[in-house]
């Protein structure tokens, strides 16, 4: 099922992030950071199937070496709170082979990033299957600083001085010259992000068309597209009247399921986005240490051994969950959250396609019913030879004949040997409803993972809050001494 997921963040030193460590994690390599004097070793990370560095023509050849490139980026940023790089997470398509996906990703980056002078370090990930569905995606890291004409990392901003009506530079009350800091590139603008999102969408859709596939993706949100998340099926006046009388109908039950599913998807999606934003502002190296702090806080307020045992069991469950998902650091946690985001988008896409097809089948069956009910009237009309009788019969059965001809036009492409595939449509409708149930079961696992991570997020926040309070108390004690 075609999936659209395109997410961008920034690598910031103010959050304790290292560009070298981030690229080592995404590329599955062992790299040394000159800035921090630390080694980041992710050579045991699984699921990394391709890595590559794409450079503009005027970039130094040594930048094709990952460690040299990113240490140069770190060196060019002396400020302790510097913004280092843009980080992109983009979903690939299961309908394409791995080789086709890699070629597509490279084409997108060359046409949209490298052509603008950007350096691209990208890595294609193919994690272990979850519920039998592959989740291929690629990560891209791009230094924020553009290369100057000599191939050196240049300035991110330039000064534009505020001038008076005579063209002289203005000064503020302190006598300092007034200026505005203006970006030297448009890479960080909302308009450019929208352009990139659409460009990736268009490239994938062109590939679908080239391969003769019906799948399509859309970079716009469902709200911007003006559609429901999962469209409901048409009920009609009879069904609505029965539902109002408290009589459950097949269509009414399906629409209730679709509305409940929409609510569930939106709730999970909201939590995933909140987790993505939260992870940006955390830089702890040890999740387990934070959970141990939270456990200690809980035990401080525990008044019985039973409560402490319960707290220990909860801590063990959290640690087992992290280990089962290969989560040891905040980088691992960020990768897991990205993966969940792609899975949620995939679930929406699969459900939407099934729902759309179900709606299409439902309409075909309605038109087939109109056709079957009114065909005898049309047949009878064809037997009447006298003009006056034909006109009278047509006037008496105007609505029925109109419905018949409308149905015949709608159904004309589906006739085969004079018959409609009614049983095929009904069987497909039943299968689609079963598929909905299977998709919901798969999504339940994603929802449980998101729920667990949300609980862990809360515990880490509590631990961080307590740590900050402890630091304040130590500072107060030192001051009093």
Residue 267: inside a domain: no
Residue 258: inside a domain: no
Quick one: 210 and 300 in the same domain?
Answer: no
Confidence of residue 217 (pLDDT cuts 50, 70, 90): confident
Confidence of residue 475 (pLDDT cuts 50, 70, 90): low
Give the DSSP H/E element, type plus range, for residue 119: none
Give the pLDDT score at 234: 55
Confidence of residue 312 (pLDDT cuts 50, 70, 90): confident
Residue after which a domain boundary falls, among 203, 219, 235: 219
Residue 328: inside a domain: yes
Residue 177: inside a domain: no
**Average pLDDT estimate for 316-328:** 81
Judged against a pLDDT cut of 60, whether residue 261 lies above it is answered with yes
Quick one: 305 and 198 in the same domain?
Answer: no
Judged against a pLDDT cut of 70, whether residue 264 lies above it is answered with no
Quick one: 38 and 124 in the same domain?
Answer: yes
Quick one: 348 and 199 in the same domain?
Answer: no
Residue 35's domain comprises: 6-146+191-219
Q: How many other CB atoms are found less than 10 A from the CB of residue 440?
A: 16
Quick one: 329 and 452 in the same domain?
Answer: yes
Name the DSSP letter for residue 151: S
Confidence of residue 315 (pLDDT cuts 50, 70, 90): confident
Quick one: 214 and 348 in the same domain?
Answer: no
The total number of structural domains in the chain stands at 2
Give the pLDDT score at 128: 72
Quick one: 195 and 287 in the same domain?
Answer: no
Give the pLDDT score at 477: 57
Q: How many other CB atoms are found less than 10 A from the CB of residue 312?
A: 13
Quick one: 27 and 130 in the same domain?
Answer: yes
Backbone φ and ψ for 8, nearest 5 degrees, come out as -130, 140
pTM of the model: 0.59
Confidence of residue 78 (pLDDT cuts 50, 70, 90): confident
Give the pLDDT score at 232: 61
- Single out the residue of 109, 172, 105 nearest to residue 136, CA to CA: 105
Question: How is residue 432 written in tokens?
Answer: 């689609």
SS3 of residue 142 by DSSP: strand
Are residues 91 and 197 in contact, defined by beta-carbon separation less than 8 angstroms? Answer: no
Quick one: 139 and 13 in the same domain?
Answer: yes
Segment 115-133, tens digit of pLDDT? 999 999 999 998 876 555 6
Confidence of residue 343 (pLDDT cuts 50, 70, 90): confident
Residue 231: inside a domain: no
Residue 432: inside a domain: yes
Segment 434-445, tens digit of pLDDT? 887 777 777 777
Residue 168: inside a domain: no
Give the pLDDT score at 69: 96
Quick one: 416 and 297 in the same domain?
Answer: yes
- Single out the residue of 452, 442, 444 nearest to residue 327, CA to CA: 452
Give the pLDDT score at 215: 82
Judged against a pLDDT cut of 60, whether residue 283 lies above it is answered with no
Taking the C-alpha atoms of residue 247 and residue 240, their distance in angstroms, rounded to an integer, is 9
Mean pLDDT computed over every residue of the chain: 82
SS3 of residue 328 by DSSP: coil
Residue 164: inside a domain: no
Quick one: 206 and 297 in the same domain?
Answer: no
CATH code of the domain covering residue 85: 3.30.930.30
Please indicate whether residue 162 or residue 395 has the higher confidence score (pLDDT).
Answer: 395
Quick one: 302 and 385 in the same domain?
Answer: yes
């Amino acid at each position: 099922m075609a999936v659209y997921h395109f997410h961008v963040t920034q690598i910031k030193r103010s959050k304790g992030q290292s560009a070298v460590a981030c690229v080592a994690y995404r590329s599955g390599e062992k790299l040394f950071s000159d800035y921090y004097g630390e080694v980041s070793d992710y050579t045991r990370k699984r699921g990394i199937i391709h890595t590559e560095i794409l450079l503009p023509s005027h970039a130094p050849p040594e930048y094709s070496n990952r460690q040299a490139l990113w240490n140069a980026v770190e060196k060019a940023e002396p400020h302790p709170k510097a913004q280092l790089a843009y980080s992109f997470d983009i979903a690939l398509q299961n309908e394409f082979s791995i080789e086709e996906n890699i070629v597509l990703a490279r084409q997108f980056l060359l046409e949209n990033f490298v052509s603008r002078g950007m350096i691209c370090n990208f890595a294609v990930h193919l994690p272990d299957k979850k519920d039998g569905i592959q989740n291929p995606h690629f990560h891209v890291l791009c230094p924020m600083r553009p290369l100057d004409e000599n191939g050196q990392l240049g300035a991110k901003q330039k000064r534009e001085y505020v001038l008076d009506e005579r063209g002289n530079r203005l000064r503020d009350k302190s006598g300092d010259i007034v200026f505005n800091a203006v970006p030297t590139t448009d890479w960080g603008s909302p308009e450019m992000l929208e352009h990139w999102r659409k460009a990736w969408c268009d490239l994938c859709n062109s590939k679908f068309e080239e391969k003769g596939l019906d799948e399509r993706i859309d970079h716009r949100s469902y709200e911007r597209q003006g559609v429901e998340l999962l469209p409901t099926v048409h009920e009609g006046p009879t069904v609505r009247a029965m539902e109002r009388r408290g009589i459950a109908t097949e269509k009414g039950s399906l629409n209730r399921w679709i509305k409940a599913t929409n609510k569930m998807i939106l709730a999970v999606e909201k939590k995933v986005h909140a987790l993505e934003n939260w992870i940006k502002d955390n830089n702890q190296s040890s999740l387990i240490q934070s959970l141990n702090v939270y456990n200690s806080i809980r035990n401080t307020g525990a008044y019985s051994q039973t409560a402490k045992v319960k707290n220990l069991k909860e801590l063990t469950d959290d640690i087992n969950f992290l280990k089962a998902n290969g989560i040891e650091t905040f980088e691992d946690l960020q990768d897991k959250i990205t993966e969940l985001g792609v899975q949620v988008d995939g679930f929406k896409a699969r459900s939407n396609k099934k729902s759309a097809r179900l709606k299409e089948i439902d309409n075909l069956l309605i038109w087939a019913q109109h056709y079957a009910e009114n065909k005898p009237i049309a047949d009878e009309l064809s037997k009447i030879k006298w003009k006056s009788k034909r006109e009278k019969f047509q006037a008496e059965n105007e609505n029925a004949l109109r419905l018949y001809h409308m149905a015949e036009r709608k159904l004309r492409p589906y006739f085969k040997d004079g018959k409609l595939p009614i049983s095929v449509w009904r069987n497909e409708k039943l299968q689609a409803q079963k598929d909905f149930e299977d998709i919901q079961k798969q999504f339940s696992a994603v929802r449980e993972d998101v729920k667990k991570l949300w609980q862990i997020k809360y515990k880490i926040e509590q631990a961080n809050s307590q740590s900050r309070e402890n630091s304040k108390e130590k500072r107060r004690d030192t001051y009093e001494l």
